[in-house]
Amino acid sequence: MRMPRLYVALCLLIAASTVSSADAQESVTLRLKPSVGQVRRYRMVSLSWIRIPGMPLLDTIAPTIAETLYTTLTSAARDSGKWTTSTVVDSSSVSMMGRANPGGGFMRGTVIRQTWDSLGHVDSTEVIPAAGVNAGMAERLRSEGLLGGGSLGMPDRAVRVGESWSDSTSRTVSDAAGKRTLRAWVTYRLDSVEHNGAHRVAVVSSQMTISADALGASASGKGTGAGSYRLDLDAGQLLAASTDVTMDISANTVKGSSRAHTAIDLLGPQ
């Protein structure tokens, strides 16, 4: 006896729904695991808006400082579950208040060497500055790296879509503005797992709380931020990341605010 077509269709629909539900519950492991010798090119854009009472605002839309870097990252070595990478700045451009800085290419040739683990935690950073890079800029790169406080910290366990995990960072920065401590508390969430050809791509979001305290408590700051990340699960490499951070800053009797947007995108192999 033939089964009614409607019954067959309902069975197929239920089966498809069960498979989709199972896929959605599948856990994935987020890791950085580039092969030694792998070469990748990235573009980083950093935009900052700074507001200080008493200073005229020429434009509330254009960023106070805009910087674009093109870099080449090489995975140089792996030892005991840790990687050493070398990032060379191929070109840089800077504009202030909407006007291009003729000397914006001074970052070209700067080298950043880092050692980090598969969870994205950086153990050490060494900066070999180009001739035009001052000590303050070199220190900023050493303490913050190219993504600043927006690097992706991965969980030590497998996670499912919708699950969250937490991470925190603390570092001391010394430059022309003095010595200060930056702390960030971040909650990440795996939003989805997509497919790009044969590769799976994890889409992650983050919410962060930030505090900054200067030595002697003469200045302080607090803020919040949000981030988004795309990680190739099969190649173990970052495809894209962006962060938006808003800070309120107090220095003695002067109060100000800042907003920053940073984005990094993988352009491809060299």
Residue 3 inside a domain? The answer is no
Angle at 36 between CA 196 and CA 153, to 5 degrees: 60
Cβ atoms of 219 and 244 closer than 8 Å: no
Count of structural domains, the chain: 1
Dmax over CA atoms of the chain, in Å, equals: 88
Cβ burial 158-189 (10 Å sphere, 16+ → b, else e): ebebeeebebebeeebeeeeeebebebebebe
Domain encompassing residue 76: 28-269
Whether 253 shows a pLDDT value over 80: the answer reads no
Residue 5 inside a domain? The answer is no
Residue 16 inside a domain? The answer is no
Residue 86 inside a domain? The answer is yes
Residue 23 inside a domain? The answer is no
Query: What would the mean pLDDT of 82-95 be, rounded to a whole number?
Result: 90
Whether 246 shows a pLDDT value over 50: the answer reads yes
Query: What would the mean pLDDT of 116-137 be, rounded to a whole number?
Result: 83
Residue 12 inside a domain? The answer is no
146 CB burial (10 A radius; 0-12, 13-18, 19+)? buried
- Bridge-based pairing of strands 219-232 and 199-214 is antiparallel
Model confidence at 147, pLDDT cuts 50, 70, 90, reads low
Whether 58 shows a pLDDT value over 80: the answer reads no
- Bridge-based pairing of strands 237-251 and 254-269 is antiparallel
According to DSSP, the residues that pair with 238 across neighbouring strands are 231
Q: Pick the more confident residue, 183 or 48.
A: 48
Residue 118 inside a domain? The answer is yes
Q: What is the pTM of this model?
A: 0.80
Give the tens place of pLDDT for each residue, 178-236. Answer: 566 778 889 999 999 999 889 999 999 999 998 877 655 566 778 899 999 999 999 99
Residue 20 inside a domain? The answer is no
Token readout for 202 is: 């994890």
